[in-house]
Amino acid sequence: MNKITTWFVNNKLAASLLATLILGTLILGFLAYQAWDGYGTASADYTSKAAQLLKFSQDKPFPSQDNLAKLDSTISTEQSQLASLIKDLQKYRIPSFADIAAAKPQDRPQRFQDALRNEVTRIKALASASGATLPLGFYLGLDEYENRLPSQDDVQLLAKQLTILSWLAELLANHKDLIISEFSRPVVETVSKKDLAKKTSLPATTKASLPYESSCGIKISFRSNQGSFREIINAISTASYFLIIDQLLIQNTSGEPPRRDTPPPVAPPTPDGSTPVQRLPIIVGRELLDISLKLRAFEFPDQGASADSNLQTKPSDK
């Protein structure tokens, strides 16, 4: 004992390190024990809950009147909410341009071509007056009908598409210095019912009933300032038509960001000659934006009316 005491007195540094090592070992051992105990508890709880979840997923609800009433109530609530949603969406109707649908079937193709020609002339005049630039050969994305009449079967859908295309072209043409490089309709590949059945593994006679119809697809590319782009996107989001942005690509015309030491831009003077206060500084500079945008327009027809129409037009079995 005296030798140990003497060693501690003569080797204070080594003794301190040894004591620290022993104390650290005890603390780490205690923490490891706590962690292992916590892991064991959590693992046992997880195993119990997983077994309980598996049991519930394999069980069938007891066929009692209470469970049946709950199921009927849930189905009724969801059907009511879905019907309410579809009813709200049915207000997004696309009218036939220039009321072409009201004309006689044999007169609709010529009336459509005349309306298209007049609308192209109007949009070109609007763009010229506002300082916007239209693409070469601009014809509202309906170039194939410049010198050819549409069929009677296609003219009603084309009249709706002309309504959307005209609205969007007018929106773009009203912005000064906006340069439109593309304004077209993407080609939609039609799939036969037989091919669709092969892809979906459904019988050829099966037809899925969807609550919506895709009326028009549009692809546009343009160059504009940030303010015009913001106004165009806001107008699309608040339009009276149901428009979905499928794709949006934005690229700055300037590859370099503005320098930190660049003085803030000065707002142009007001008509009365005074200098307005710059309340919101331009963060990303004054560069222009190259925009590529793909849109789709949807309608939500009245399913009840469609069903009644099908019943009326269906030949009777005699």
- Render pLDDT for 149-160 as a digit per residue (tens, 0 to 9): 999 999 999 999
- Rounded CA-CA distance 304/301 in Å is 9
The confidence score (pLDDT) of residue 97 equals 93
The answer to whether residue 194 is domain-embedded is yes
Reduced to 3 states, what is the DSSP secondary structure of residue 197?
helix
The answer to whether residue 183 is domain-embedded is yes
Rg of the chain in Å (alpha carbons): 35
The confidence score (pLDDT) of residue 318 equals 38
The answer to whether residue 317 is domain-embedded is no
The answer to whether residue 145 is domain-embedded is yes
* DSSP class of 147: S
Dihedral sign, CA of 237, 240, 245, 251? negative
The answer to whether residue 146 is domain-embedded is yes
Positions of the chain with pLDDT under 50: 189-193, 196, 204-206, 280, 306-318
- Rounded CA-CA distance 257/72 in Å is 60
The answer to whether residue 148 is domain-embedded is yes
The CATH number given to whatever domain includes residue 125 is 3.30.70.60
How many domains is the chain built from? 1
The confidence score (pLDDT) of residue 307 equals 45
Contact predicate 150/115, CB 8 Å: no
The answer to whether residue 242 is domain-embedded is yes
Domain that holds residue 137: 97-203+210-255+286-303
Supply the DSSP string of 230-255, one letter for each residue: HHHHHHHHT-SSEEEEEEEEEEES-S
The answer to whether residue 119 is domain-embedded is yes
- Rounded CA-CA distance 179/221 in Å is 9
- Rounded CA-CA distance 111/108 in Å is 5
> What is the per-residue pLDDT across 45-104, written as a single tens digit (0 to 9) for each?
888 888 888 887 877 766 788 888 888 999 999 999 988 988 888 888 899 998 999 999
Contact predicate 116/140, CB 8 Å: yes
